[in-house]
Amino acid sequence: MQSYALTVDKFLDHAAKWAGEREVVTGDAGRTAGRIGYAGLRERSNRLSGALAALDLRFGDRIGTLAWNTQHHLEIYYASMGAGLVCHTLNPRLTPAHLAAMVTEAEDRVLAVAVSLTPLLAELLPLCPVVEHVILLDADAPGEGFVPRPGVQVWTHEALLATRGAPVAWGRFDEQSPAGLCYTSGTTGRPKGVLYTHRSNYLHTVRALQADALAYRASDCILVAVPMFHANGWGLPFAAPAVGAKLVLPGRQTDGASLTRLIRDEGVTVAVGVQTVWLGVLEHLDKVGGELPSLERIVIGGSSCPDSLIRRMEQRLGARVQTSWGMTELSPLGTVAPLDVEPAETRASGRTPLGLDLKLTDPQGVTLPEQRGVVGHLWVKGHSTVERYFKAEADALDAEGYFDTGDLASIDADGNLTLSGRSKDLIKSGGEWINPAEIEDIVGRDPAVGLVAVIGREDEKWGERPVLVVEARQGQRLEAQSLIGALRGKVADWWLPDEVVQIGAMPLAATGKIDRNRLRADYLAGKLATEGVNL
């Protein structure tokens, strides 16, 4: 059979040829800031590859991006990957020190930065001696007062394209070549880089396009509210052109008003992002009224979403909510709920399409004899799963080739995965395990509770004991007795937290998840006791 390298430039080539007029729309605070057909996008991205070559970048070199979901960012994706460079997406919500560590480890020779982020860039650049070029995205001029450090050349995206752009032949390299680099959030440890290959991205894309998976179609108009710096933007920058779907990139703002406007103006049929974003849309509609008639489906992922919230979203937004689970190390899709499964089952994160296998083990990594209906440690193996972290000295796999997700999960008789916490968050009390996620799930159902976390504190007698930390919803009063009372009979008595602390604001990591490391550190330092209220 024909040799045919699985490289990501083929996605945009396909779209340019078969859906050349289908648009990629960029939003800015809900207004349309730009639109271009796939044929035009391909032509620009390809010439941008030529411009990058003119900057003397060589095969495998990394380009860091600090950018929002925009056409320019997408052009950097394809211009770099198509030419054999590595697109290293960075999260602009991290601190300059964190970012500098990543840029330095990755040896990013170029940083492509949204103009709106030049204040961050001004802080970051002095910490990154490896950077030689800066490309400013989304506008023609840097923010006021920006002065690059000596030795760094600054271009605007458009000027670089206009002065150095030249067509090049894309993709003439091995499909195992690196294409993208993304660091894990690092909420539970040092951030680690995952180096995606062309092959892993290509296979991830066709896996996700299956009718029983994300099932995007040419007729869809897809709103990507998940940042393009989170694990390949959940694969949308690849999947949308691969089927020739219209793509709506909202820019920086993902508030309810902005997204509502874009959904209406562009006729969005599928909206993809974390549940909090869609809650924002919901609250906006509740406030101002109105409907979203074009919207057919919302894809959510990450943490498990309560049934009641899914029902509320489906009823108010008039769209089916499709749950999924993934992680940076999985490119990111792990499991997804098929569209023809009854909504009654939505609480789970769906099934694993072909290309990723799952197994449940005990804490020591020994495969559980029973793989259905029990909670175990989740390990995975597949064509788009990390084998070794970037610049790590050893593989991250067990003897059977499986990767430890760090998640606790169960699988039902139909193969549906339900996540139930992180293994690192488990609390060992008297030699037995307490799962904070189960306690948090029950406490979180109290309408007066905003955010909730259970952490372990050292205990002389038991080893560890659970502490319940809660943040009240605005205007609500919490009482320890009622919170603990709700747990009685639902968890074992020895699981009941010994201590309940109410704090004003739960510490959050850059990804929006609760920062448990910080919470444990604050507890140890006595900060929770002084700043919080022992209920």
Which positions touch its own copies (CB under 8 A)?
1-4, 6, 10-11, 14, 17-19, 195-197, 199-200, 203, 206-207, 209-212, 215-219, 242-243, 331, 338, 340, 351-355, 357, 381-387, 397, 401, 403, 415
Report d(CA 171, CA 271) in Å as an integer. Answer: 30
CB of 46 to its own copies, least distance (A): 16
Q: Token match 């020895």: residue?
A: 494
DSSP type of residue 316: H
39: buried, middle or exposed (CB in 10 Å: 19+, 13-18, 0-12)? middle
Q: Which token pair is 79?
A: 């211009």
CB 269 within 8 A of CB 296: yes
DSSP type of residue 367: B
Exactly one of 433, 464, 513, 527 is catalytic; which is it? 433
CB of 138 to its own copies, least distance (A): 29
CB 301 within 8 A of CB 324: yes
Q: Which is nearer to its own copies, 202 or 462 (CB)?
A: 202
CB 323 within 8 A of CB 348: yes
Q: Which is nearer to its own copies, 70 or 322 (CB)?
A: 322
Q: Which is nearer to its own copies, 184 or 429 (CB)?
A: 184
Please, what is the angle between helix 480-487 and helix 436-443, to 10°?
120
CB of 500 to its own copies, least distance (A): 42
CB of 218 to its own copies, least distance (A): 6
CB 298 within 8 A of CB 323: no
The contacts of residue 436 (CB under 8 Å, 6+ apart) are 421, 425, 426, 427, 453, 454, 455, 456, 466
| Active site annotation includes 495 | no
Q: Which is nearer to its own copies, 217 or 428 (CB)?
A: 217
Please, what is the angle between helix 256-266 and helix 275-288, to 10°?
80
Q: Which is nearer to its own copies, 215 or 247 (CB)?
A: 215
337: buried, middle or exposed (CB in 10 Å: 19+, 13-18, 0-12)? buried
Q: Which is nearer to its own copies, 255 or 357 (CB)?
A: 357
What distance separates the 2 farthest-apart alpha carbons in the chain? 71
Task: Identify the CA nearest to 264 among candidates 299, 288, 236.
Answer: 288
Looking at residue 67, its amino acid is A
Looking at residue 17, its amino acid is K
CB of 233 to its own copies, least distance (A): 18
| Active site annotation includes 329 | yes
Exactly one of 75, 175, 329, 438 is catalytic; which is it? 329
Q: Which is nearer to its own copies, 134 or 195 (CB)?
A: 195
Helix (H) or strand (E) holding 487: helix 480-487
Exactly one of 287, 391, 424, 428 is catalytic; which is it? 428
CB of 384 to its own copies, least distance (A): 6
DSSP type of residue 398: -
Q: Which is nearer to its own copies, 234 or 495 (CB)?
A: 234
CB of 63 to its own copies, least distance (A): 20
Q: Which is nearer to its own copies, 14 or 312 (CB)?
A: 14
CB of 191 to its own copies, least distance (A): 18
**Which strands make up the sheet holding 246-249, listed edge to edge?**
31-37, 23-28, 246-249, 221-224, 270-272, 297-300, 320-326, 333-336
Question: Which regions of 261-319 does DSSP assign to beta strands (E)?
Answer: 270-272, 297-300
Query: Which residues sit opposite 86 in a β-bridge?
Result: 62
Exactly one of 26, 89, 184, 323 is catalytic; which is it? 184
CB of 245 to its own copies, least distance (A): 9
Q: State whether the Cα torsion 400-401-405-409 is positive or negative.
A: negative
CA angle 290/295/298 to nearest 5° reads 115
Q: State whether the Cα torsion 50-51-57-63 is positive or negative.
A: negative
Task: Identify the CA nearest to 419 among candidates 531, 500, 316, 303.
Answer: 303
CB of 42 to its own copies, least distance (A): 14
Report d(CA 126, CA 107) in Å as an integer. Answer: 14
SS3 353: coil
Q: Which is nearer to its own copies, 230 or 297 (CB)?
A: 297
Residues forming the active site: 184, 329, 428, 433
